[in-house]
Amino acid sequence: MIIDEEKESELVESPSRRSFLGASSAALAAAAFVGLTANAQQRDDTHKAESDHSSSNPGPENMPLLAENPNSNTPPPTDHGDIGPIWYSFDLARNRMQEGGWAHQVTQRELPPSTDLAGVTMRLTRGSFRELHWHTADEWAIMLNGNARVTVLNPDGTMFIDDVTKGDLWFFPAGYPHSIQGLGPGDGCEFLLVFDEGMFSEDNTFLISAWLAHTPPEILTKNSNLDRSAIGRLPKDELYIFPAKLPGSLEQDRAAVGGKSVESLIRYTFKMSAIAPTVKTAGGEVRIVDSHNFPASKSIAAALVTLKPGGIRELHWHPNASEWQFYLAGKGRMTVFMPPTRARTMDFNANDVGYVPPVAGHYIENTGNTDLVFLEMFKADQYMDFSMNNWIRRLPPEMVTAHLNIDEATIRKIPAEKQVVIAG
C-alpha cells in the first residue's frame, strides 16, 4: 500500500489540528452542548501527550494502516472507553478466487458485534455464473459495476428474470432458488450482497451441482428421468462460480421459460438510480429504499448517502436495528456513542465496512476532498432514524436550557427540522 503525501501529512499532524481542520460548523455547534464527563479522557492531558513524547511509539508500526486510520491510533479527546470494533475492510478478507470471478466476505467472524447482517463483494466475468443456489438468509444486493442477469423461482412455479446494471438492487428471500450471470458489453460485473444473518457464509450455500453429485443415480432416474449417460455428465463437485457463454437477449430468455404464463407477479429488482433523492441539501443527498418503495425487500432497509466535502450525516440514531455500512467512495470518519460515556472514532475509505450497535448515537463526516458515498443497511422492513437537532428543537426551551446550559437564542440557532445531511 502506498502512502500519498496527503495521508502522510495527516498521520504526523497532531489530532488537535486535525480535529480543528476537519470540524464542520454543525460539529462545533454540537460540541457546545456535548460535554465530557468527569471521568472521561481529559482534553488537557491529551493535548499534553500530543506535544511531548507520550504518544510516540519507538517500536514497530504498520505505517500504511496508521495512515488509513489516524483517529484510531490517536483518538480525539472526546473518545472514551471501549465500544468494541466498528471497522473492517473487504481488502483484509480472504479472496475466494475461481475461473470466472471471486468473492470476499465480511461476517460476524470478522466483525464480531455484527450479529444481524453480513456482506459479500463478488465479481463475475462476462458470461460467468454464480451457480444456481439458495440459502438460509434473505439476500439484498446492489450492483457496483457492469451488468448482470438474475433469475429467481417462486414457490408457485412462476419465474422472475431481469437484467441489472450499476446502481440497481435486487432482493431474494431465504430459500428461493436463484442465479446471477455476468453480462457484456464490458467484462462482467461486481456487486455487494448483504444477508440478514451475521454468521452467514458464502461457503455454505445450497448448490444444485453439489446436491445432484450427492444423490444416488437411481433416485435421479426416478425423479428426473435422467439416463445413465446424462448422469455421467453431471458435475462431480460444486461449481460455485464458473465461466459460460453469454445468454441471448432478456426477451429470448423470458420467452424460453414460458413467457407471460409463468411470469412472476413480484418484482425482485429495483432501479434505485431512477428515483429522486429522498433528501437533498447543500451537504449532499440520501436515497432511502425499504419495503415502502421496494415491496419485495421485507427484511432489509437501506439508504445510499452522498456527502459533499466537509459535510456530515447529522448526529442521529436508529431505533429499530443496528447499522451495517459499506463505503463506496471517498474518505470519512465516524464517532459512535454508547452509554454511559463511551465513544469511539474511526476512519473509513472505499471498500471498508462500518458498524453501529443498535440505537447508538453517531455521525459520519466527509474528511476528504471528493464526495463520500456509503450505504447504511438495516435488518428491518423500514428505514427509521432520530435527529438530535430535531429532538432538541421539539422540546420546550426552558427544558433544553436546564439540561444543556444554553439560552433560548442559542437554541434557536439549532436546525428545527431533521436535516439528514448538513453542509460543512
How far apart CA 371 and CA 240 sit, in angstroms, is: 35
Alpha helices in 13-159 (DSSP H): 15-22, 25-31, 43-51, 63-68, 70-73
Cα distances (Å, whole numbers) of residue 13 to 50, 52, 213, 347, 382: 9, 13, 59, 15, 42
The sign of the torsion formed by the CA atoms of 292, 294, 297, 303 equals negative
Which residues are known to be catalytic? 376
How far apart CA 77 and CA 40 sit, in angstroms, is: 9
How far apart CA 328 and CA 45 sit, in angstroms, is: 36
How far apart CA 352 and CA 334 sit, in angstroms, is: 12
Place of cell 464527563: 37
Give residue 282's identity as a one-letter amino acid code: A
How far apart CA 142 and CA 154 sit, in angstroms, is: 21
How far apart CA 63 and CA 73 sit, in angstroms, is: 11
How far apart CA 355 and CA 233 sit, in angstroms, is: 46
Q: Return the closest-CA partner of residue 289 out of 380, 361, 357, 417.
A: 380
| 168, β-bridge pairs | 271
Query: How many angstroms from the chain centroid is the CA of residue 99?
Result: 27
How far apart CA 143 and CA 134 sit, in angstroms, is: 19
